[in-house]
Structure 1
Amino acid sequence: MRKYIVFLILFILGSSLSMFSCKKKDDTSLKLPPTINTLTEVKSLPSFDSTLVNTFFKHYPELQKYQQETTELYQKRKYQYIWFDNKGILEVSQILYGKLNNMEDEGIKTDIPYKEKLETLFQKTTEDQNATVNDELLLTSLYFFYTHKVLKGIDSQKSSELGWYLPRKKKSYVNYLDSIIANPSLINKNEKEVLGQYYNLKEMLKKYRKIQKNNSWDSIVLDSSQISLKLGDSSQTIAQIRQRLFILEDIATDSKSSIYDDVLKAGITKYQNRNGLRENPIIDKRIIASLNVPIEDRIKTITVNMERCRWIDVDVAKAKELIVINIPSYRLKYFKDGKPVLVSNVVVGKDMNKTVIFSADMRYIVFSPYWNVPKSIITKEINPGIAKNPNYLSQHNMEWNNGVLRQKPGPKNSLGLIKFLFPNNNSIYLHDTPSKNLFNEEKRAFSHGCIRVEKPVELANEILKDDKNWTPEKIDSAMHSGKESWYTLKNKIPVYIGYFTAWVDNEGVIHFYDDVYQRDDRLATMLFEE
């Protein structure tokens, strides 16, 4: 009997060692730090008392804005621990800790609430990282702090104060945490949460901060003996410009030459194209002033546009057709299946008549349109014109119709030969114009709020391309008929009017645009106050 018991003990011990050996082999393949427990190792802790949530926020008032979401989260999870298991702190907690400590990479300068308590938690040894309710709720609150700052951005009321009426994305960060817990690495891949442009700007932020750190940014000064510089000229200013363009990657090498050569000319052209400047090989005070914009200002511009990206619903890019107008770039882009099929210069509202930032669905095209003159224009422009010239209305092809002043269809009509309607409360639409010369201007904020399109014929042809009712010839005929006619589109086209002063193109080149409505500084102030 005694031999049998010894044999049984040895058998059980051998089996245990064998099982341990297999387990050890599996664990080593994960190659994770000893302080991190993986989800496959999780053993649930007992649920905690729900009343402790209120108690926590009484002691942590700086996090109270996240109390509602925290309560919703734990009600859903029946007050089970999220960030700990019976062995200590989990991998997802470590990832969150890293993201919190690197929020500046997201263009956000902020103080982490109760950071000293957070640091104390993660400085503990594995044995001391056992779960407490306070630690659990601190991590949850800071998770919401992170998602609100990095993924959501400032609240919609504040963005509306900046004249931003594009629909804000709606996202439950309670539900988002479920996917993070299932796959912690997703927190490093938020493409489904934020517009892809955000990550392009994030890379540029890294690049420009590196430039700031590694390079002096002394002002470039035009030689006092010269008003401007042209190809073949020699000046020490040329060498300074060459160095600046090399730092900004507008030229590939810095030869140190002080002679204005073709390489520098190509770099000047590239710089002008990506900074909203008209192409001009002559170096004058204007381009030097642009080159002298402090690197800190460029960094600020990048960060405020990262913030604007947080407000855009990522599903926008999934639309089969989409028309986008960026006010600061004075540019319209028409997308089909995610690819641009038309790019056109536009004229937008002047400062006193700002074009509104909003979206609506294009439903109609109007050929040979009347222009119903707004009352504000009648008061400010038409009535003074009539007072000076009794024949003002007839000379401008205008007439009264049922108490409404309108301009008759024709080539001199202020709306041109065609307009594109997306009904909205702002009375904004796209239209042709007889004032074609304005599209040659560098800054094109001249309208009363509506958007003038340089390529209206091309836009109409592209919109109606697959409509059997129309051919290019019929479109041209309708535009020149002198009789207003409306056509209802078979498919509504979303139109988004946005405001971005920095944008990274498909080639990875960053473009900066004039802050035409002076909104960047105000947004930067809001971000600092958050």
Structure 2
Amino acid sequence: MLKSKKFVAVACIILTLAVCIIGCNKKKKSRRSTLPDSSIYSSENFTDIMLDSTLVNNFFGSFSAEDTVKQEVKEFYARRAYQSAWFNKNGMNHAAQNFYSQLKNYEYDFADSSLRNVEMDNLLASAENDEKDFMKRNVEVQRLELLLTTTFFNYAIKAYGGITKNPLDLEWFIPRKKKNYQSLLDSLVSLDKGEKVREPVNQYYIRLKDKLRIYRNIEKKGGWPKIITAKKQLAVGDRDSSILLAKQNLFLTGDFKLRDTSMTFTDSLKSAVMRFQRRMGLKDNGSIDVATLKEMNQPVEYRIKQIMLNMERLRWVPEELEKDHLLINVPEYILHVFENGKQVWAMNVVVGKTASQTTIFKGNLSQLVLNPYWNIPPSIIRNEILPQLKRGTGYLSRNNMEVLSGNKVIDPSSVDWGAYSKNVPYTIRQRPGRNNSLGKMKFLFPNSFNIYLHDTPSKGHFADSKRAFSHGCIRLSDPKKLALYLLRNNAEWTPDKVDELLKTDNEKFIKISPPLAVYIVYFTAWVDSKGEINFRNDLYGLDAKLSAEIFGQ
């Protein structure tokens, strides 16, 4: 009997162990995704205040949130093993106040109160008023904990993710990277007092946000005065009551540094006007002409909207661009060359007309072509060349062009051009030479838009303040400078060798290694390397299109 009891006891122990092992394995399998991430958290990160999964799930029964936000919150606490992010046994940590300040700044900067939560405000005030007493009220501590975390993800998605509409529908073809809000909150809750909150945005966004706050302050104080004058131009030496308004206007924008209440157009005012004109992309002649007056009279609310629209675009741009890259801002008509993260030089460019817009995308410049052929796009053949050919083929010889059937050059007079109205089954190209529409060089970065950089025999437009004249490709004011820059580390292609080849009409492809990133962007408001905010007109109407998505107008 004793042996039998002993056997039963041993069997029970074995059975219990087996059940535990099976149960543990099942539990381990089902909770795999909820284990803390050891690459981010260590035992030192954990606090002594715990939540549980039921509490987190039940919270969303009384607090409405998008499914994506719910998922972020649940994942965040699962990775922390359900330990508090905002509290420890001593009270609320510095991260809570850091985030709350960040939230209030966002509300002010963007005039957006949609993230405001009265319950969270009251609980935070209570915690700050008597922290020891508040910490005794466990239900309120847990409630505030979850309100802070949920509000953070709502804020992060809105402030850093931007609108959900596909940028491709807004003519923006630069790939948009998904942001890691989990990592962002990890870093926020681990900050010590006084440490700066990291934002998952690029430097251009941060610079523009600083200017947004300045313009908000101007708006709160009533904006700047509108300048009313019957004169078509105000210049040095003129006296007019509108000149005083101009001084007040430019003082508020930071262009005019003096508190001058006279009605005389001074040399100091001329300098201020020139600075303003440069920021607007106007000819800096120093006089208040019609174009300058129009820009000065744009209300502060208009400028704020421009800033916000471009901050939205900057949310789509990677946090870090390649250290070496080219950046062409279409509304600015400028190509910027960056090396080791800093701009080293820039040049004027001509971009596509409104009817043949330059596409916004990213590519990798991989080839330089000296003495290029110009393979004429089908749209230009159809709309511009075909009507000429129907009157005779002399147009081709006058423009140094040839016709190809496949890879074979053929006699253009053997083709019945009158038989075609839309699709022409031949290739037409312009031979290399100084009158070639691509000039003496082009720069290739493979893309589906057939966009590239190139020289041009027509140099007249580069001094214009508005330079949208091309069929979509980008003309360079100093292509040789860019070519030599790209070849500066290529011992084979010295400046002398490049010059020798350019004297001929022999086409030559040169590989650029490593390829150089090229960003073609569309910003109508940005802060330049000197810290000055620039504005440009909405060349292609893309601001208006984006505004309809953001502001509904």
Tell me the TM-score range normalised by the shorter chain: 0.7 to 0.9
1:189 counterpart residue number = 197
Across the two proteins, how many residue pairs are aligned to each other?
483
**How far, CA to CA, are the matches of 1:389 and 1:359 in structure 2?**
41
Distance 1:66 1:472, change over 3 A: same
**How far, CA to CA, are the matches of 2:376 and 2:294 in structure 1?**
40
Alignment TM-score, normalising by the size of structure 2: 0.82
Distance 1:433 1:63, change over 3 A: same
1:302 counterpart residue number = 307
Q: CA deviation at 1:462?
A: 1.1
Distance 1:43 1:370, change over 3 A: closer
Q: CA deviation at 1:280?
A: 2.5
More divergent stretch after superposition (202-211 vs 140-149): 202-211
User: What per-residue deviation string (whole Å, max 9, x for no partner) do you get for residues 12-59 of structure 1?
Assistant: xxxxxxxxxxxxxxxxxxxxxxxxxxx9998512341x2444433343
Q: CA deviation at 1:88?
A: 4.3
User: What per-residue deviation string (whole Å, max 9, x for no partner) do you get for residues 236-259 of structure 1?
Assistant: 222322222222222221433333
User: What per-residue deviation string (whole Å, max 9, x for no partner) do you get for residues 87-132 of structure 1?
Assistant: 543332232223223213453624116x122123213242235444
Q: CA deviation at 1:66?
A: 0.5
2:274 counterpart residue number = 269
Contact 2:86 2:92 in 1 (8 A): yes
1:392 aligns with 2:395: yes
List aligned pairs for 1:121-200, cutoff 5 A. Answer: 121-124=123-126, 125-126=130-131, 127-129=133-135, 130-132=137-139, 133-155=142-164, 157-183=165-191, 188-190=196-198, 193-200=200-207
1:311 counterpart residue number = 316
1:46 aligns with 2:50: yes
Contact 1:349 1:355 in 2 (8 A): yes
Distance 1:187 1:495, change over 3 A: farther
**How far, CA to CA, are the matches of 2:196 and 2:119 in structure 1?**
24
**How far, CA to CA, are the matches of 2:305 and 2:193 in structure 1?**
29
More divergent stretch after superposition (158-167 vs 325-334): 158-167
Q: CA deviation at 1:144?
A: 0.7
Distance 1:179 1:282, change over 3 A: closer
User: What per-residue deviation string (whole Å, max 9, x for no partner) do you get for residues 150-175 of structure 1?
Assistant: 233223x4333212222223332112
Contact 2:224 2:252 in 1 (8 A): no
Pairwise CA RMSD of aligned residues?
2.4
List aligned pairs for 1:204-243, cutoff 5 A. Answer: 204-214=211-221, 217-223=224-230, 226-243=231-248
**How far, CA to CA, are the matches of 2:259 and 2:51 in structure 1?**
64
Contact 1:323 1:494 in 2 (8 A): yes
Distance 1:233 1:92, change over 3 A: closer
**How far, CA to CA, are the matches of 1:339 and 1:315 in structure 2?**
12
Query: 3-state SS of the aligned residue for 2:280?
Result: coil
Q: CA deviation at 1:270?
A: 1.2
User: What per-residue deviation string (whole Å, max 9, x for no partner) do you get for residues 332-380 of structure 1?
Assistant: 0111112323211111112222211111111000111111111111111
Q: CA deviation at 1:276?
A: 0.7
In the alignment, which of 442, 450, 453 is matched to residue 419 of structure 1? 442
**How far, CA to CA, are the matches of 2:259 and 2:159 in structure 1?**
38
**How far, CA to CA, are the matches of 2:189 and 2:297 in structure 1?**
47
**How far, CA to CA, are the matches of 1:194 and 1:186 in structure 2?**
20
**How far, CA to CA, are the matches of 1:40 and 1:365 in structure 2?**
55
Percent identical among aligned pairs is: 39
2:24 counterpart residue number = none
**How far, CA to CA, are the matches of 2:337 and 2:527 in structure 1?**
17
Alignment TM-score, normalising by the size of structure 1: 0.85
Query: 3-state SS of the aligned residue for 1:274?
Result: helix
1:406 aligns with 2:429: yes
Q: Which runs of 5+ in 1 are unaligned?
A: 1-38
**How far, CA to CA, are the matches of 1:69 and 1:86 in structure 2?**
25
Q: CA deviation at 1:323?
A: 0.5
1:502 aligns with 2:525: yes
**How far, CA to CA, are the matches of 1:432 and 1:53 in structure 2?**
62
Q: Which runs of 5+ in 2 are unaligned?
A: 1-42, 407-425
Query: 3-state SS of the aligned residue for 2:390?
Result: helix
2:485 counterpart residue number = 462
Q: CA deviation at 1:77?
A: 1.6
Contact 1:222 1:285 in 2 (8 A): no
1:73 aligns with 2:76: yes
In the alignment, which of 374, 379, 391 is matched to residue 377 of structure 2? 374
Contact 1:364 1:489 in 2 (8 A): yes
**How far, CA to CA, are the matches of 2:483 and 2:551 in structure 1?**
44
**How far, CA to CA, are the matches of 2:50 and 2:237 in structure 1?**
79
